[in-house]
Structure 1
């Protein structure tokens, strides 16, 4: 029987900004990266990004595509909101043996491993997760229209709202507001940008906010504080109490560290790994199941 621990595995971690595909063979891991892969926002586009990544992976690993797609695969993608879309994606992908989930379990596994704790993941989208005694609970991740508080796109979108407030004299006209007004072409340009912007476009504005907040910009600090307050409320509702580990993950997640209450700051721990390492761990579990089934 093939040793499940050494059997090759493939892991896919895809979100609103990028998609990463990894092949692990023994101690060697090959990773390729493609573009946005959110199956709710653009199903066909997400499938195309994975297929492009697999072709690149085949080239980098010197394996044929049929050999590659025969390897057990774990796919965690943004926008997998339920069984129906998971099954549709399973049928659309070229893998012979694959398990499809949304991107949250991989991020949770990557951050905590097998340890207890909480994860506030804020990338282009966002979610809050808890892992206690081996049981996981995940809330949020419902996309930019109905959810994703404190995500990068949420911050970018609200930064423009705060900027318009500043232009109306309802908020201080700080450097952050002046930056957006000058780069986007005044209030009319801000409104025009927002009318056609995608979540990733709003998310691309978030670094401007975090940079200005670090420099002491009052409007940026207020925005980061408001976003951090949402995380505090959600983490508390999920059962966090002082002394329990919290990991801030995602592109903007770690930027909230200094905006959290003192006790939460004391409980912050660096994540053990990233979502892709979590996806590889889940791929290994799936590969073990496949190997055991085959005997």
Structure 2
């Protein structure tokens, strides 16, 4: 992904699992990582993570925070749902030449650049994007209660639901259900956990599902097939057709590849870059137009 080497820029990519802050300058890139950041579900915690990230970045770069905060900056965060959240972020953070957006924009730019393609981004949460003939469309990203199909937290929630169906006698046991029940001990403990679990905590169960799916566990495979079906249906409805590349991104995305139809498997392509690369590219856009949109 091409960027101008002449001006330093600040970029932040924050999601439900981690927040990455980067300073890109002529002599290279400095990156620091902090904890999860979702401006909708935990605004105060997100501000804390961003402040820590900016402070650490300034220290590692041996640059005053005031200088850092004057740079062109793009901040892509989970949970930026509208102008009200942007106003709160603007008031709470010291960045003075910044564009705030949800994390979908940086992920799409990072994966596709400016090329045609579609994305199923499945991290702690999920969203879908189609960039075709110069038009970009996003779908999903509505959070754990109303959406995030095929995300890591969705997988975790589905796994717990299937284990409770096994407890009720509707589903056969499997290695996955045995391992989860051994971890929680009782069905009641599962219910108590799920009542207050954050998306990242539910998402932490997803590696168990993908691990057991690789060994043919029927419950794990059924969950991943259901997620792949969501991906296929949504991408087709968003305009995917033969000849358009598909990127599966996020920590869980690639695990759906074996469950897609053959025509979609043939269309799979590697992303051009990461969401952090995308955030840096978007910060460069601000540099080129002097911070005005």
Gap runs ≥5 in structure 2: none
Structure 1: gaps of 5 or more residues: none
Q: Shift in Å at residue 134 of structure 1?
A: 2.3
Q: Which position in structure 1 is the counterpart of 2:70?
A: 70
| Equivalent residue number for residue 34 of structure 2 | 34
Alignment of 1:151 onto 2:151 = yes
**Are the counterparts in 2 of residues 245 and 267 from structure 1 also a CA contact under 8 Å?**
yes
- 1:126 aligned partner: 126
TM-score by length of 1: 0.96
| Distance change (3 Å), C-alpha of 1:196 and 1:292 | closer
Cα distance in 1, alignment partners of residues 183 and 98 from structure 2: 45
* 1:164-193 CA-partner distances (Å, limit 9, x unpaired): 111222112000001110101121221121
The answer to whether 1:193 aligns with 2:221 is no
After superposition, the C-alpha distances for 1:55-98 in whole angstroms (9 at most, x for unaligned) are 10011100111111111110000000112212221222111110
| SS of match in other structure, 1:12 | strand
Secondary structure of the 2:49 match is helix
Q: Map 1:96-115; keep pairs closer than 5 Å.
A: 96-115=96-115
Where does 1:155-166 land on structure 2 (aligned, <5 Å)?
A: 155-166=155-166
Q: Does 1:85 align with 2:85?
A: yes
Give the CA RMSD over aligned residues.
Answer: 1.5
Q: Give the TM-score normalised by the residue count of structure 2.
A: 0.96
Distance 1:179 1:58, change over 3 A: same
| Conservation of the 8 A alpha-carbon contact between 2:5 and 2:25 | no
